[in-house]
Chain A
């Protein structure tokens, strides 16, 4: 079974703090993704990585950065957290190739106060 794990299920941070969200997958997938999920908006792609040290911006990259130093690990960084970044964050991974489905982690519910 594919396992995608995220470092925290729930996180509360203050405005202006730097926040790190970690994601690890154990299936040797080339692709890794970070999404945020908000009610009525579905999932929106923040960043995508197709290889170590490679990244592409998704639909809503502003206020976020990412790091992929190892194939199995993909980190999302909020440089200076703001209240409008309160959301559910989902990590996913997949094999390279359009026909492959993505496998998701359990999500991190981040609250910024």
Chain B
């Protein structure tokens, strides 16, 4: 079974631009979560989607947004990029958020560099 796929793997943007990152969950998984990882703040939760609905949101500004499609694939968008947005963006999928185990499978991440 294929794992979580994230595209692109690496991205370089300049301040003020916007970026869209994509995540394809494991086949059959319907829940997708996004995380940001930086050396200073560590791993921080961005948001979670299930059945095309945002179920939970972390403490990030409105420049960060996401969506989920009917095939469970998800995208996140960051508008008006700032230098501090440089990070590894990780996507995680799980079968459904209701299970106690709710083991989450993480993708390899997208490394975003903002110049």
**Do A and B actually bind?**
no
Residues of A within 8 A of B (CB): none
Residues of B within 8 A of A (CB): none
